[in-house]
Amino acid sequence: MINRILLRIKIIQILYAFYKGEGKTTLMVEKELFHSIEKTYDLYYHLLNLIIQITGYAASRIESKKNKLRPSPEDINPNTRFIDNSFVAQLRANIQFVNYLTQHKLSWVNHSEIIKELYDEIIECDFYQEYMTLDKVEYQDDKEVWRKIFKRVILQNESLDNSIEDQNIFWTDDIEIVVSFIIKTIKRFELESGTKQTLMPMFKDEEDAEFARKLLHGVIKNGNTYRDIIDKHTQNWELDRIAFMDILIMEVALSELMDFPTIPVNVTLNEYIEIAKNYSTDKSGIFINGVLDNIVGELKKENKLIKVVMFTK
């Protein structure tokens, strides 16, 4: 689940704190990086649990209306399609999901106001109204309504975004990419898998974990060398006037360019230019693109940048 895009961002965030702080060893920084990654994986389950919590809240609303002093015919005979959703029932019984929530003690019990707000927003959506009035629903319809809920409601809700950041400092800025993984998870669910439907692993494979470890250590070990290279190619700028985040992003990019021969140059450059656009100043993307392009050109001329072309069968 934790892809290399997110790993690059995590490494930059951890290194930023490392350089701005004091007294941390390389081992401590590595532990902090992987702790941050584990917390992002927690968020994956925590947001998946919104499906169960929102459905539970909807069920409680139906029961509350039935128990009114003068219930209406609609209160007595409600449309229960939303709470009878077959995909939700499958997730609720999922062995991997239940075990993880129990072991990691993830809960929305102290955040009931968010559950209510999200539900109230959902029932006003056109796609929800369409779903509730379909002549017949299939398993795919039950999945699709939740895919739309995550994309159009949960991802856009500012109160949820603020709540997530308040609940855990390691979840700041993670919600968008984690929601994208949840949408992929919903698409992958199959009714035939029952309670044994597999959820996304923390890493696709051990290679990604090793990528994170090697990249982090490469920047810490060779940071001064990379900073000298950056300084050489920004002679018209005083280094202390360039945004610290820009320098750090370029250091990490150079570490990836030098230490990972199978990753194409354009992939590395594009990834860090995008990170700069989102995490530094408005002009950082253009600035970093120009500097790194010049550095890559020089490294190639000096035969210091070796890339291996990987062939697939």
Count of Cβ atoms closer than 10 Å to residue 263 Cβ = 17
Please check whether residues 55 and 96 belong to one and the same domain. Answer: yes
Please check whether residues 246 and 102 belong to one and the same domain. Answer: no
Please check whether residues 143 and 24 belong to one and the same domain. Answer: yes
CB within 8 A of 56, min separation 6: which ones?
A: none
Please check whether residues 178 and 255 belong to one and the same domain. Answer: no
Taking alpha carbons only, the member of 139, 129, 130, 122 closest to residue 187 is 139
Give me 98's structure tokens. 């239940």
83-103 pLDDT, tens digit per residue, is 999 999 999 999 999 999 999
The answer to whether residue 35 is domain-embedded is yes
The answer to whether residue 60 is domain-embedded is yes
Please check whether residues 181 and 256 belong to one and the same domain. Answer: no
The answer to whether residue 206 is domain-embedded is no
The answer to whether residue 136 is domain-embedded is yes
- How far is Cα 218 from Cα 69, in angstroms, rounded to an integer? 69
Please check whether residues 146 and 37 belong to one and the same domain. Answer: yes
Residue 125's SS3 state is coil
Range of the domain at 73: 4-196
Please check whether residues 162 and 27 belong to one and the same domain. Answer: yes
Any idea which of 48-62, 66-80, 104-118, 155-169 has the lowest mean pLDDT? 66-80
- How far is Cα 311 from Cα 205, in angstroms, rounded to an integer? 20
CATH of the domain at 291: 1.10.940.10
The answer to whether residue 278 is domain-embedded is yes
The answer to whether residue 210 is domain-embedded is no
Please check whether residues 155 and 116 belong to one and the same domain. Answer: yes
Please check whether residues 167 and 46 belong to one and the same domain. Answer: yes
Please check whether residues 132 and 176 belong to one and the same domain. Answer: yes
User: How many domains does the chain fold into?
Assistant: 2
The pTM for the full model equals 0.90
Tell me how far apart the terminal alpha carbons of the chain are, to the nearest angstrom: 25
Please check whether residues 174 and 242 belong to one and the same domain. Answer: no
Please check whether residues 165 and 263 belong to one and the same domain. Answer: no
116-147 pLDDT, tens digit per residue, is 999 999 999 999 999 999 999 999 999 999 99
233-286 pLDDT, tens digit per residue, is 988 776 667 889 999 999 999 999 999 999 999 999 999 999 999 998 888 999
